[in-house]
Amino acid sequence: RGVETGGCPHTAIREDASVNLAAVSDLRAAIPDLDIILIESGGDNLAATFSPELADLTIYVIDVCMGGDIPRKKGPALTKSDMLVVNKVELAPYVGVDIEKMKTDTATARNGRPYIFGSMRKNDGVAELGDFILYEANLEGIHSPVAFRIDL
């Protein structure tokens, strides 16, 4: 279900999460057996972080087309999220990104926090991300990671 903020979408994930919390409440009422609810916020704001009352787990997704320097900018979403996914690695040579340098910079910026370099289009990293979600949500053994295959 989409949420319309009528203004800056980052406000709905950070300062005033009430519109998203209401949507989650409606979704849980409509489908009470849900194990996981994903809330997505689009955009390229490296400073955007989710309110702790809105998210139990944060996954920040960037792609190499945003530039190889993104990890060096060290925005809070990149450094503090529970998982960082760097997607579309197969495009690095076409956008002038040195993927090895980006990996080094990411390791430094993450300071021990987990990250995945992959290609969702090629299913590289999808199973690892699925495993991470299942583990962090304490759903191991309840759901199969096979469900996390993406067919495009």
Whether residue 50 is contained in a domain is answered as no
If asked whether residues 78 and 136 sit together in one domain, one would say yes
pLDDT band per the 50, 70, 90 thresholds, residue 105:
very high
pLDDT in tens, 52-78: 666 788 888 999 999 999 999 988 888
**What residues contact 26, with CB distance under 8 A and at least 6 apart?**
1
If asked whether residues 29 and 79 sit together in one domain, one would say no
Rounded alpha-carbon distances, angstroms, from residue 54 to 7, 13, 27, 35, 118 = 19, 7, 14, 15, 27
If asked whether residues 38 and 62 sit together in one domain, one would say no
Q: Is residue 20's pLDDT more than 90?
A: no
If asked whether residues 62 and 133 sit together in one domain, one would say yes
Q: 16 lies in which domain range?
A: 1-42
If asked whether residues 29 and 95 sit together in one domain, one would say no
If asked whether residues 62 and 110 sit together in one domain, one would say yes
Whether residue 104 is contained in a domain is answered as yes
Rounded alpha-carbon distances, angstroms, from residue 33 to 37, 77, 144 = 11, 30, 17
pLDDT of the residue at 134: 84
pLDDT band per the 50, 70, 90 thresholds, residue 116:
very high
